[in-house]
Amino acid sequence: MRKDPMDITSAAKDYGSLALTEDRRPGQPTWRGRRAPGPEPTLHFLHGNGFCGGVYWPFLRGFLPRHGLFCSDIEGHGASEAPAAFSGVAAVLERARAVIAAQGLDRGPLVGIGHSFGGALTLRLAAEHPGLFRAVVLLDPIVMPGPMWAAVRLGSFVGRHPMAAGARRRRERWPSRAEALARLQGRGIYAGWTAEAMQAFVDHALRPSGQGEEVELACPREIEAQIFEQPVWPWRAFRRLQCPALFVSGQSSYGFFPWARRVTQRLAPRVEFLTLPGGHCFMQEDPAGTHAVVADFLRRQGL
């Protein structure tokens, strides 16, 4: 039977009031995150490249107090320390699994949820550690079909990856959070985001630069670029996936998703698919609607 929800009313008002967690290991960057207690299963969330857990608060807070929540900020994102260079997909997967163990999350039922890069990582964690998750929810996961994945790797090798080049050129500092909000709102990847989602980005994906009110990207541009250059290989993971999975994509997201869906259906026919209005960050455009479809999936799995 589901336990009575714990009282987290105050925590649910503000992401920054959730308990801060730290994972320190010799010779490795410190990983930080936020945790809210609550009934099982606990939801384990991994964010997209350049973002962090707090950016998704308008979407995630709807799961409280029905579930516990743990958001882990990948190296170089949010409150976590940045290495000199991206450690690589294999190292990040190993560290994410170690953080789960250190938090004791694997001692109870756990659901994996991830967006973009975090969705691809969640898929790999589920496949490589059977039984870790009772179910996974993949929100616009970056799962490129083989030929595209190979082209991206080749383009990265010769310095011709457009998204990596864009990351290296992007503005990284603003005179204040208010100025950053005014400059970013409605532009590029942020087009269509709700005002609350934009505020969450400004609050949690930017940090003080040490120069008065000036703020800077919490994720260094070079780390973001290197992650773009090292896409996750997902297809062996789909073959090995054992738990229920929901694959949600944005209707106007990247053009490879229909192709990726066909490949996934062939390799993992039990995966459920859903397309929602919006782009790659549809959960920032309609946090409540995205929460509703994910919550419905979890209910149907008895979670």
Is 9 a member of any domain? no
The answer to the question of residue 14 being in a domain is no
d(CA 140, CA 256): 11
17 occurs within a structural domain: no
Query: Residue 10: inside a domain, yes or no?
Result: no
How much is the mean pLDDT over the chain? 94
Residue 153, amino acid: R
- Residues present in the chain in total: 303
Domain assignment present for residue 266? The answer is yes
Each residue of 167-215: pLDDT tens digit? Answer: 999 999 999 999 999 999 999 999 999 999 999 999 999 999 999 999 9
d(CA 60, CA 45): 9
Residue 85 CA to residue 126 CA, distance in Å, equals: 26
3-state secondary structure of 117: helix
Beta bridge partners of 207: 216
Q: How many domains does the chain have?
A: 1
Is residue 23 situated within a structural domain?
no
Write the CATH number for 158.
3.40.50.1820
| Domain housing 287 | 29-300
Q: What is the CA radius of gyration of the chain?
A: 18
| Confidence (pLDDT) at 3 | 36
Q: What is the pLDDT of residues 98-111, one digit of tens each?
A: 999 999 999 999 99
Query: Is 206 among the domain residues?
Result: yes
53, 34 contact by CB (below 8 A): yes
Which of 36, 26, 27, 32 shows the shortest CA–CA distance to 207?
32
Inside any domain, residue 187: yes
Note if the pTM is more than 0.85.
yes
Distance CA 40, CA 141 (A): 25
Strand partners, 21: 33
